[in-house]
Amino acid sequence: MRTQVGIIGAGPAGLLLSHLLHLEGVESVVLEERGEDYVRQRVRAGVLENTTTDLLREVGLGERMDREGLVHGGISLRFDGADHRIAFEELVGRNVTVYGQQEVVKDLIDARTRDGGQILFDISETAVHDIDTDRPRITFRDADGQPQELVCDVIAGCDGFHGPSRKAVPHEAYDHTYPFAWLGILAKAAPTREELAYTFHERGFALYSMRSPEITRLYLQVAPDEDIKEWPDDRIWAELHTRMAVDGESPVLEGPLLDKGITAMRSFVATPMRHGRLFLAGDAAHIVPPTGAKGMNLAVADVRLLSRAVTQLLQHNDSRLVESYSDTALHRVWKAEAFSWKMTSMLHVSPTADAFQRQVQLAELRYTAGSRAAMTAIAENYVGLPW
């Protein structure tokens, strides 16, 4: 098999990169170890920055998003028994859209299929070779278990933290693990509020969000080694009501659970994001805690940059953008890491924090809620920094 760009991973990063390259007349093949049904349904992040929604519209992927997505003009910080709104549109003139990652993936798969794009699902034993040459290769077994080889001009590793791409790039790792995790549920219950609410409570952080007019997405801070079996539905609902109540009233409407799981919290950056003709994008290069809603948006920023760099290389023999790709991408990555770390540190209860540290957190929250400058800084980062 032969193509210009071999893309490992059919998440938002890999699929969007394939779509952007197609628009520039560059061929690609996307390889994915999971089956198509799984990829279409896996529940992930759901907050799209204003820069992300603008890009999706620009490249013809905004129709269903604009029809079904939920536009949010702000978020709330809930602490001291009160709700404190940060008004994005008033502060920075922009907003965010809640539209699940799986919905973006569905739109991308449909677009690539419609345009004749190649996406090979259910592959295995993926490995990269000859990345220091101008003809790198990807070997794998196809859905029938037959060995295959894909010869490329460029390889894009969009295969997440555990995929083979990152391991093939000599890199320095910056890694930070947080002393807590998120227990997340997806509930068939109509949202009772129009915007996300981030709650600081003495029992731990809680987040109220939504995925559609019928589905809510809710999170609780738990210990990183927590056993999901110890959290029956009744216990989850009771804890959500306790942590999110303001003036004795909780915004949470209960309903049947569609999904339940525990996610570890970490920050990770691999630098550089390139070695030879192999380029990393998305979770293969960096991970942020979900508090700042940056994961998928960073992947979009990566592949927007990478698609332009690869097009310049393959169509004009101009290597300047590929040479600067890693440094340029990491400049944005570290800003997102800083914002996500700040939001996480400000809103979560550390199991090792003493009374002094808890009061410092509250002081920071009170300052943020009372300062237009502090709220503007959060709004500017949350809606997405300029490209």
Residues shown for the chain: 387
What lies within 8 Å, CB to CB, of 183 at 6+ separation is 219, 220, 221, 222, 226, 228, 231, 236, 260, 261, 262
Beta bridge partners of residue 183, listed in sequence order: 220, 262
Output the CA torsion sign for 384, 179, 239, 374. Answer: negative
Comparing C-alpha atoms, which of 213, 206, 205, 216 is closest to residue 256? 216
DSSP-derived secondary structure for 40-70:
HH-----EE-HHHHHHHHHTT--HHHHHH-E
What gap in Å lies between CA 385 and CA 387, rounded to an integer?
Answer: 6
Burial class (CB in 10 A: 0-12, 13-18, 19+), 175: exposed
Q: Are 10 and 123 in contact (CB under 8 A)?
A: no
Contacts 24+ apart (CB under 8 A), 34-41: 34/10, 34/121, 34/122, 35/121, 35/122, 36/109, 36/119, 36/121, 39/10, 39/11, 39/105, 39/109, 39/121, 40/102, 40/105, 40/106, 40/109, 41/102
Beta bridge partners of residue 137, listed in sequence order: 129, 151
Three-class secondary structure of residue 144 per DSSP: coil
What amino acid positions are annotated as catalytic residues?
A: 72, 198, 290, 294, 382
What gap in Å lies between CA 303 and CA 312, rounded to an integer?
Answer: 14
What lies within 8 Å, CB to CB, of 192 at 6+ separation is 251, 252, 253
What gap in Å lies between CA 364 and CA 342, rounded to an integer?
Answer: 11
Q: How far is CA 13 from CA 22, 109, 133, 266, in A?
A: 14, 12, 24, 20
